[in-house]
Amino acid sequence: MERANRPLPTPSVETEAYWEACREHRLVIQHCTGCDTWRHYPRPMCPHCHSTAFEWDEATGRGVIHSYTVAHHAFHPYWEDKTPYVVATIELEEGVRVVSDMVELDPADVAIGLRVEVIFEDLSDEISLPRFRVLEQHEEPVT
């Protein structure tokens, strides 16, 4: 049986710069130049001050697990041989949260507050997908 491919995101006008940075294995986040706050996911207007002026600034790629769920059911054939797997909401050092399936994390070992860092998986010419892995307790981040 042919293995199903992971469904890939489609860059839009709002997210093209984000995916372009991912292709270079850099995690960038929108940073409002009106009120100096970070926001994610990408959107045209700041939810705090309603400014449309922003920069794409590079994030450290580090954060902690803010919350998580363990998926026991595959909602797409790609995940059929991967259940159960952990999907986490990660709070980045910049204060914004991202959702990611965790790399090689046994559901028995997941916990709120675990330190994580971004890695990038090159899935197509267009998409390098940011995912997160747990940092060991005394491990220094490589990114």
Q: Which is nearer to Zn ion, 32 or 98 (CB)?
A: 32
Scanning residues 38 to 77, which ones bind Zn ion (CB under 5 A)? 46, 48-49, 51
Query: Contact between 82 and Zn ion (CB under 5 A)?
Result: no
65 bridge partner residues: 90
Nearest approach, Cβ of 19 to Zn ion (angstroms)? 23
Nearest approach, Cβ of 43 to Zn ion (angstroms)? 11
CA dihedral 74, 121, 27, 20 (to 10 degrees): -110
- Give CA separation, 137 vs 68, 83, 88, 140, in Å: 19, 26, 18, 9
Scanning residues 14 to 43, which ones bind Zn ion (CB under 5 A)? 32, 34-35
